Amino acid sequence: MKYAEVAVNSPVSRSAFTYAIPARLSVHVGQAVWVPFGSRILQGIVVELSDQPSVEATKEIADLVTDTPVLSSRQTELARWISERYLSPPFDALALMLPPGFERQAIAYIQLADSQMDLSSLTPEQRQVLHIIRAKKKASLPELEKAIGRRKAGQVIDQLLDHRLVTKTLELERVKIKPKTVPYVKLVAPTGRKEGVEAEKARLHKRRAYKQAQLLEFLTEQTQPVSVNELGKRFTHASAAVKALESRNLVTVERVRVRRDPLSHLSVPPSPAPLLTPSQQAACESIHNVIVREGSQCGRAPVFLLFGVTGSGKTEVYLRALTQIISAGKRGICLVPEIALTGQTVERFSSRFPGRVAVLHSGLSAGEQFDEWQWIKEGNCDVVIGPRSALFAPLTDLGLIIIDEEHEWTYKQEDKSPRYHARDVAIKLAQLSGAAVILGSATPDIHSFHKAQQGEYHLVELKERITPRGYSPLPEVSIVDLREELKAGNTGSLSRSLLAAIKEALTQGEQAILFLNRRGTATFVRCRSCGFVFRCPRCSIALTHHSAQKRLICHRCRYSVPVTQSCPQCFRHHLRFLGVGTQRVEEEVSHFFPEARLLRWDRDVITRRYAHEELLNDFRNHKADVLIGTQMVAKGLDLPQVTLAGIISADTGLNFPDFRSGEHTFQLLCQVAGRAGRGIKAGKVIIQTYSPDNYTVQAAARHDYLGFYEKEVDYRRRYNYPPFSRLIRLVYSHIHDELCRREAERVHRLILDERARDDMIDFDVIGPVPAFAFRARGRYRWQLFLRSPAPARILSRVTLPQGWNIDVDPVGTV
């Protein structure tokens, strides 16, 4: 093999590049290497080897980063799949699997060379650069770029190199994360014998070195080396005494690697498995039977959709399935939708598998991430828990991947490339490893349920809720019509029934959760008298308020109307720009119930590490009566003392200009409702809405997933939305609105031309339209949607310049 395809760590590298392998290096797939790229040296990962170069002129690989491959062949294969499916640069996909802190840069340093050249012929810039280098003895390329500009620096340095006035060397950026080591003290061998120690002690006493004598005595009594830290706890001035003993050659001090354990603050007593309920038993058996029948074959991956109502004991089914695969010598991964929820899951899993659980997420310190990663790689744990990125833990013998609350949108990486969906990657990884996948939810993603209906996934159901009262019904839900509240003169955000229910819960010493869907704050306009919402006559999605233009704009087709004063339906002046914040609700609750203890949970209050866990623990331990929160409170919390769940407004989500707004709202409503009544007492749910007849609200109030699914699937089929088609979202961002729009229109035309050339039927291009977050961080964003059974095909023939983001299978269209 003389050539290597290398995925290079550079934003401009959209595909792998061919490099020649110098004879002195032995290069393998999955290995990290240094390669010249433009004027720089960058890290890259070898993804393929070949005898023939795929291009004529190739550069040589400069060096190896590590002697052995950092990635396994399975990992490189998974990365290739991710980069092909999500149209992302290959390095981005590979980087998901690299050890924490692995990515480093090589920095070029410029030094003066021994030269007798006459400097008078140099340009002022060349002299300036030489001057800087002389002053610093050696200057880094970034320093010089900063001094005279990036372009200029490159040119001038090349000229000086040509004149042999300077030399260039490469140095690696400092290692960001290192293993943590602590010093341990060990007796030097001969003094380990009793008489030797006695003689040494006597000598020390003679010199009045009593402390050293004491330490020496203590060390002879130990069977294992003792850490300096430990000695410090027992003896004053221990480290000075250790140093003295060391200089007398009586002890040696060695640094020993220790693990920074992110779970060390947890103390969970091991707990035995409870007796399964009959439905759990049946679920476990059917999962087990399929795994035995189909599993453990590479290329196959049985996928289970565990459809169980809230509180039906899905976690116990996960734990049993894990126990089984662990006893077969395999390991598992359990994904949770939010870092904030790892705590609850880690506790439950640790008490079943004490000491065998690892956790991986970005909330850990860099050192903890590094150690956890190593700990997993060395095969010390059976289960890894974490958000979507935990999928890339270096686990061997993978037997099972669990995705809890599989409908959650957080499983899609949206903010950066690769824009992957953890569910789809999990299924691919399972296929490559011969593992099984369990997707669990009370409100499955429409796509997942559709696959289960088609027979692609095995549907496993848990229909009853388990509480300390035994099987019990889901909480009773009532719908409050907010138009009636207004008629009765109540302009606050809490209806009379909700106020009464809060009062009742407080009097009984129970807890309440109030949920607010903040997505879409102040974006759509609604009449508070008749409930009218401005919608696009063509697309029927809600119009979005653009205050700069004073217009309401359709984010699908760009239809727009000016903002008016009165409602076009009832002509009254009760138009409201929607947006009630958690803070407002908190103020209102404390106004009505000054004695109630309130907790607000949203991104504004959660700033510190562990803050989520502390807040949740406070609430669980009943240090507060009412929890007011956004999305977070809708995600799988098990809080037995909560008897009331109130939804401040079901409409925020419903009127969101997205084809999935119905699905999303249904899921949120059911999940929030699912928080109430999980303990000894029955629960109650109140949904406040201006659209009491909406089928989403109605179905949620009946806990009727199937009813909702049927309606939703009809709608998707009729309008050709996923799962009946696939979408690709193309977003272009630029600081100038006009340029941004024009570029979006240019690409739109290119795509239309391609479509015409190929005579593609079944291929829609939607847009260009402004993105929902139209102006984000000072940049305007315009977007296009491609919709077809295979929309990626057209993009292989259209080149998108820098600035375009590609999102394959976006979770939403706003």
- Contact set with ligand ADP (CB under 6 A): 274-277, 280, 308, 310-316, 466, 638
Q: For the chain, what's the residue count?
A: 814
Shortest Cβ 267–ligand ADP spacing (Å): 19
Kindly list the distances between the CA atom of residue 55 and the CA atoms of 8, 14, 19, 132, in Å, as whole numbers in the listed order: 16, 16, 9, 40
Q: How far is the CB of 151 from ligand ADP (least distance, A)?
A: 58
Which does residue 314 touch among Zn ion, ligand ADP, none (CB within 5 to 8 A, set by kind)?
A: ligand ADP
311 binds, among ligand ADP, Zn ion, none (CB under 5 to 8 A by kind): ligand ADP
By beta-carbon proximity to ligand ADP, the closer residue of 405 and 586 is 405
Cis peptide before 269 (omega within 30 of 0): no
Closest CA to 259 of 153, 152, 371, 120: 371
- Torsion angle defined by CA atoms of residues 443, 447, 453 and 456, in that order, rounded to the nearest 10 degrees: -120
Give whichever of 280 and 433 is closer to ligand ADP, judged by the CB atom. Answer: 280
Q: How far is the CB of 654 from Zn ion (least distance, A)?
A: 17
Which residue number, 29 or 536, has a Cβ lying nearer to Zn ion? 536
Min. distance of Cβ 309 from ligand ADP in angstroms? 7
* C-alpha to C-alpha distance for 656 and 772, rounded to whole angstroms: 10
Of 360 and 554, nearer to Zn ion (C-beta) is 554
The CB-of-274 to ligand ADP minimum distance in angstroms stands at: 4
Alpha helices, DSSP H only, in 183-269?
A: 194-206, 210-221, 228-234, 238-247
By a kind-dependent CB cut-off of 5 to 8 A, residue 310 interacts, out of ligand ADP, Zn ion, none, with: ligand ADP
180-187 vs 357-359, strand pairing mode: unpaired
Residue 481 interacts with which of ligand ADP, Zn ion, none, CB < 5 to 8 Å by class: none
User: Which is closer to Zn ion, CB of 24 or CB of 718?
Assistant: 718
Structure tokens at 385: 């828990």
Please report how close the Cβ of residue 636 comes to ligand ADP at its closest, in angstroms: 6
Picking from 739, 667, 747, the residue whose alpha carbon sits closest to that of residue 709 is: 667
Q: Please name which of 421, 390, 395 lies closest in space to residue 408, comparing C-alpha atoms.
A: 421
Please state the closest distance from residue 275 (CB atom) to ligand ADP, in A. 6
**Cβ 727 to Zn ion, closest distance in Å?**
17
Cβ closest to ligand ADP, residue 670 vs residue 806: 670
Closest CB to ligand ADP among residues 250, 462: 462
Binding-site string for Zn ion from residue 14 to residue 53, where x marks contact by CB under 5 A and - marks none: ----------------------------------------
Q: Which listed option, Zn ion, ligand ADP, none, makes contact with residue 315 (CB within 5 to 8 Å by class)? A: ligand ADP
Residue 276 binds which of Zn ion, ligand ADP, none (CB < 5-8 A, kind-dependent): ligand ADP
Q: Using the rule CB under 5 A, is 62 a contact of Zn ion?
A: no
State the maximum Cα–Cα separation within the chain, in Å, rounded to a whole number.
104
- Given Zn ion, ligand ADP, none, residue 439, with its beta carbon under 5 to 8 Å by kind, binds none
Q: How far is the CB of 477 from ligand ADP (least distance, A)?
A: 17
Given ligand ADP, Zn ion, none, residue 280, with its beta carbon under 5 to 8 Å by kind, binds ligand ADP
CB closer to ligand ADP out of 333 and 482: 333
Instruction: Choose among Zn ion, ligand ADP, none what residue 538 binds, the Cβ cut-off being 5 to 8 Å by kind.
Output: Zn ion
Query: What is each CA distance from 317 to 312, 436, 438, 685, 705, in whole angstroms?
Result: 10, 14, 10, 27, 21
To ligand ADP, the closest distance from the beta carbon of 276 in angstroms equals 5
* Helix ranges, 52-105 (H): 73-85, 90-95
Contact criterion met (CB below 8 Å) for 811 and 772: no
Q: Among 536, 687, 701, 731, which residue sits at the site for Zn ion (rule: CB under 5 A)?
A: 536
Strands (E), 375-510: 383-386, 398-404, 436-441, 458-462, 465-467, 470-472, 476-481
Mark residues 391-410: x for contact with Zn ion by CB under 5 A, - for none.
--------------------
Window 542-581: residues binding Zn ion (CB under 5 A):
554, 556-557, 559
Query: Sign of torsion, CA 591 593 599 600?
Result: negative
> Of these partners, ligand ADP, Zn ion, none, which one is at the site of residue 695 (CB under 5 to 8 Å by kind)?
none
CA Rg value for the chain: 32
Residue spans of beta strands (DSSP E) within 505-597:
511-515, 525-527, 544-546, 551-553, 560-562, 575-577
Give the integer Cα–Cα distance in Å for 224 and 187.
10
Q: How far is the CB of 596 from Zn ion (least distance, A)?
A: 44
- The entry of ligand ADP, Zn ion, none near residue 475 (CB within 5 to 8 angstroms by kind) is none
Q: Which of 539, 627, 686, 730 lies at the binding interface for Zn ion (CB under 5 A)?
A: 539
Report DSSP state, residue 563. -
Distances (CA, A) of 717 to 513, 725, 728: 36, 9, 18
The C-alpha atoms of residue 385 and residue 387 are separated, in whole angstroms, by: 7
Nearest distance in Å: CB 695, Zn ion: 21
Of 438 and 525, the one with the shorter C-beta distance to ligand ADP is 438
Q: Could you give the dihedral angle defined by the CA atoms of residues 231, 234, 238 and 244, in that order, rounded to the nearest 10 degrees?
A: -80
Looking from the CA of 562 toward its CB, the CA atoms found within 13 Å total 3
Nearer to ligand ADP, 226 or 462 (CB): 462
* Contact status: 538 vs Zn ion (CB under 5 A): yes
Residue 539: contacted member of ligand ADP, Zn ion, none (CB under 5 to 8 Å, by partner type): Zn ion
SS3 assignment, position 807 = strand
If binding means CB under 5 A, how many residues of this protein chain bind Zn ion?
A: 7
- Alpha carbons 539 and 523: distance in angstroms, whole number: 17
Measured at the alpha carbon of residue 471, what is the angle toward residues 465 and 474, in degrees to the nearest 5? 45
Nearest distance from C-beta of residue 287 to ligand ADP, angstroms: 15
- Pick what 316 binds: ligand ADP, Zn ion, none; C-beta below 5 to 8 Å, kind-dependent: ligand ADP
Query: Cα separation of 713 and 336, whole Å?
Result: 26
* Residue 428 vs 555, nearer CB to Zn ion: 555
Residues that bind Zn ion (CB under 5 A): 536, 538-539, 554, 556-557, 559
